């Protein structure tokens, strides 16, 4: 089973690598060192934007406006419960014992007392969420993020985080048919619920950026780095280049 | 022998007296200095006061709760902007192009970037309803010029990280000014850097000013 997973993963990465290297490599003085695939990424971004504007955003807005808020809360709690399973695993892999224990307790309490996760009993008794995924685990153990990648439908990612996705899917009850059988409607519902939670942020993003693609890319990379360090990233040496270089600088 | 001994003792005593004298004089001046202008707050107290004031106004005003971003922008301009060092935010976001810009261009850049940031912040504030802001205590050493104040917005979902970078400013109303803002791990000034650099590379500083102006006009149109 694991051999199949890894061979599929390796094959996927090879295909991805081949495609990326053939198309849309950015060169020249305009290229951003963290984004060598910028031309291709921008193309995928445009596709995602039109999919979002025409399909996902209207559906998510309708969901937010017409579904009773109790139902929305219940749905979000169920999906948070599923992701707590992945959190338990990844906190464990990062040797964060307290967070792993908290995540495990959350899953147990919410699945039983909280009736399959519908009621977030664990938060009521102050068991905190510590969301983690395999991409963060890889980052924790020193794997650099690699070039920025925009995935079709899924959106911003990086080479490392994309490689981490199959592991997340394997542990996820909704994606992995061997753990539990959910139909594709559940996946769709999860996507809609997630999009509904970003509706306000999406509007702010539109108004705040003069180049939405670049804004999203830098925000994603900064946020990812912060997540890997659990909100406490070491300060990067990004000097303020508007100041004249001092005579003592190297 | 006794002569030498006593002269050594005299020397030490004189040193000690001298030091004591200098220290007490300094303390006196310090006290006078403290009294002449109000003692500055700790940075976390400053942020807590600022955000609490803002939240109270937002919660009390019904039209803000319905998401009137224009009205919130006015509020943010009056209440928050005096405590922000915009010149530093703009120059830091613009990067090396700032040094090549003329004072007139720098002034325009600052104005447009300020409008954009007010709008963004107001958009975020308009989403608040009954959240609570928790400010983590921070102790600034007397010689710390810059401090990070960490806060969290706690509501129904996961808490949202909101951090402020503040610098000591003797002329500011509370002794501190904000020069960077972090939402969910994303420092705003850094996030604008590559966009601005891109615009300047493609169209020069004037091109950046034009892009910012257009963005602000489009936002103003969208809210009507």
Interface of A with B in 216-245 (CB under 8 A): 217-219, 222-223, 225-227, 231, 233, 238, 240-244
Q: Which of A209, A233, A241 lies nearest to residue B96, judging by beta carbons?
A: A241
Q: What is the pLDDT of residue A62?
A: 93
Task: Kindly tell me if the per-residue pLDDT of A160 is higher than 90.
Answer: yes
Q: Specify burial of residue A77 (Cβ count, 10 A radius: 0-12, 13-18, 19+).
A: buried
A151 phi, psi to nearest 5 deg: -90, 145
Percent of chain A with pLDDT over 90: 49
Residues B103-117 as b/e (b if ≥16 CB within 10 A, e otherwise) read: eebbebbbbbbbbbb
CB contact under 8 A, B185 and A233: yes
Q: What is the pLDDT of residue B18?
A: 54
Residues 6 or more apart whose Cβ sits within 8 Å of residue A164:
A133, A134, A135, A136, A137, A138
Interface of B with A in 27-66 (CB under 8 A): none
Residues 6 or more apart whose Cβ sits within 8 Å of residue A45:
A150, A213, A216
Residue (of A79, A88, A195) closest to A131 by Cα position: A88
Cα nearest neighbour of B202 on chain A: A30
Residue with more model confidence, A154 or B157: A154
Whole-number Å distance between alpha carbons of B24 and B36: 18
CB contact under 8 A, B195 and A210: yes
Tell me how far the alpha carbon of residue B175 is from its chain's centroid. 10
Q: Which of B94, B95, B124 lies nearest to residue A204, judging by beta carbons?
A: B124
Domains defined along chain B, listed by start: 10-223 (3.10.450.710)
Helices and strands counted in chain A (H then E) = 11, 2
Q: What is the pLDDT of residue B28?
A: 46
- H or E segment to which residue B103 belongs: helix B103-125
CB-CB neighbors (< 8 A) of B120 in chain A: 204, 207-208
Stated length of chain B: 224
Task: Kindly tell me if the per-residue pLDDT of A8 is higher than 80.
Answer: no
Interface of B with A in 181-220 (CB under 8 A): 184-187, 190-195, 198-199, 201-202, 211-212, 215, 219
Q: What is the pLDDT of residue A157?
A: 92
Residue (of A71, A50, A107) closest to A189 by Cα position: A71
Whole-number Å distance between alpha carbons of B201 and B77: 31
Q: What is the pLDDT of residue A214?
A: 92
Q: Which of B99, B195, B198 lies nearest to residue A244, judging by beta carbons?
A: B99
Interface of B with A in 121-180 (CB under 8 A): 123-124, 127, 156-158, 161
Q: What is the pLDDT of residue A10?
A: 59
Per-residue pLDDT of chain B (224 residues), as tens digits, is: 555 555 555 555 556 555 555 455 545 444 444 444 455 678 888 899 888 888 888 777 766 666 677 788 888 888 888 899 999 999 999 998 899 899 999 999 999 999 898 888 877 777 777 788 888 888 777 778 888 999 988 877 778 888 999 998 888 888 899 999 888 888 889 889 988 998 999 999 999 999 999 999 998 887 65
Residues 6 or more apart whose Cβ sits within 8 Å of residue A60:
A192, A195, A196, A199
Q: What is the pTM of this model?
A: 0.78
- For residues A32, A36, A40 and A41, what is the CA-based torsion angle, rounded to 10 degrees? -60
């Amino acid at each position: 089973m694991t051999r199949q997973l890894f061979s599929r993963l390796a094959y996927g990465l090879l295909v991805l690598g081949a495609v990326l290297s053939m198309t849309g490599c950015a060169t020249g003085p305009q290229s951003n060192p963290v984004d060598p695939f910028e031309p291709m990424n921008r193309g995928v971004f445009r596709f995602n934007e039109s999919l979002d504007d025409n399909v996902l955003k209207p559906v998510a807005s309708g969901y937010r406006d017409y579904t009773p808020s109790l139902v929305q809360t219940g749905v979000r709690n169920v999906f948070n419960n599923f992701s707590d399973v992945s959190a338990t695993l990844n906190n464990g892999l990062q040797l964060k014992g307290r967070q792993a224990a908290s995540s495990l307790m959350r899953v147990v309490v919410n699945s039983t007392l909280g009736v399959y996760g519908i009621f977030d009993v664990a938060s009521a008794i102050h068991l905190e969420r510590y969301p983690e995924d395999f991409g963060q685990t890889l980052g924790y153990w020193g794997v650099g993020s690699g070039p920025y990648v925009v995935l079709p439908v899924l959106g911003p990612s990086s080479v490392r985080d994309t490689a981490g996705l199959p592991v997340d899917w394997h542990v996820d009850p909704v994606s992995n048919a061997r753990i539990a059988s959910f139909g594709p409607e559940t996946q769709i519902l999860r996507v809609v619920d997630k999009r509904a939670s970003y509706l306000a942020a999406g509007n702010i993003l539109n108004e705040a950026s003069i180049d939405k693609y670049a804004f999203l890319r830098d925000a994603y990379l900064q946020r990812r780095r912060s997540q890997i360090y659990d909100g406490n990233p070491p300060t990067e040496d990004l000097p303020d280049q508007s100041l004249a270089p001092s005579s003592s600088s190297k | 022998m006794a002569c030498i001994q006593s002269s050594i003792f005299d020397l030490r005593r004189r040193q000690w007296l001298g030091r004591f004298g200098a220290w007490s004089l300094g303390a006196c001046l310090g006290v006078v200095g403290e009294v002449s202008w109000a003692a500055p707050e700790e940075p976390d107290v400053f942020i807590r006061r600022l955000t609490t004031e803002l939240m109270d106004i937002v919660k009390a005003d019904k039209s803000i709760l319905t998401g009137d971003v224009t009205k919130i922008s006015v509020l943010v301009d009056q209440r928050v902007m005096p405590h922000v060092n915009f010149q530093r935010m703009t120059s830091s976001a613009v990067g090396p192009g700032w040094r090549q810009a003329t004072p007139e261009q720098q002034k325009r850049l600052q104005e447009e970037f300020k409008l954009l940031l007010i709008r963004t912040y107001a958009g975020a504030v308009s989403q608040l309803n009954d959240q609570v802001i928790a400010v983590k205590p921070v102790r600034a050493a007397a010689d710390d010029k810059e401090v990070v104040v960490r806060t969290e917005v706690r509501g129904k979902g996961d808490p949202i990280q909101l951090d402020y970078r503040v610098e000591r400013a003797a002329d500011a109303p509370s002794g501190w000014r904000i020069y960077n803002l972090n939402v969910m791990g994303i420092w705003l000034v850094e996030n604008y850097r590559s966009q601005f650099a891109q615009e300047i590379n493609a169209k020069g500083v004037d091109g950046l000013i034009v892009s910012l102006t257009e963005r602000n006009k489009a936002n103003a149109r969208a809210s009507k």
